[in-house]
Amino acid sequence: MEKTLVLIKPDAFARHHAGDIIKRYESEGFRILAMKLLKMDERLASIHYAEHIGRPYYKDLVGFMTSGPLIAMVLEGEDAIARVRKINGKTNPKDAEEGTIRKEFATSGRRNAVHASDSPESAAREIAIFFNQTEIYDGTYHVEADD
């Protein structure tokens, strides 16, 4: 099983789409191993987006990501990284396939509702930025049958 980090970005959270987005991942069979609501600050943004520092869009990216609450999640499932990225759709919602999260909930290429790790290495690095080991449920869980 593979793990990936997902962020429901401030635009989707502010527009009350978080529940619909979480439901989409759950309906695809992903297990939620960790989830928290937080407000990213500039320090956290500089760690998460370190590879973008110095690029022309960096200041706008940090301004957007620190503009309001977001939800960080660790999802687990078979081929989770590729499958979540496919469910999310292309970065620009104009180019995203019908039925993807970005096609339905994003407003632009920069305000694109969700982030997901793009490789196993990125997933490991990003998960560690947002969660410590005690915050990640890595066991099994099941639903008890009603009596």
Residue type for position 10: P
Annotation-wise, does 24 bind a ligand? no
Tell me: is residue 100 an annotated ligand-binding position.
no
Report the chain's terminal Cα–Cα distance, integer Å.
32
Cα–Cα–Cα angle for 58, 60, 64, nearest 5°? 115
Single-letter code of the amino acid located at 108: S
**125 marked as part of a ligand binding site:** no
**Cβ pair 62, 42 in contact under 8 A:** yes
Binding site annotation covers 85? yes
Instruction: Please tell me which residue in 16, 17, 115, 142 is annotated as part of the active site.
Output: 115
| Alpha-carbon gap, residue 21 to 105, rounded angstroms | 9
Closest Cα to residue 5, out of 76, 92, 58, 95? 76
**Is 88 part of any known ligand binding site?**
no
55 annotated binding-site participant: no
Contact 114, 12 (CB under 8 A): yes
Clarify whether 142 is annotated catalytic: no
Per the annotation, binding residues are 9, 57, 85, 91, 102, 112
Positions marked catalytic: 115
Per the annotation, binding residues for ATP are 9, 57, 85, 91, 102, 112
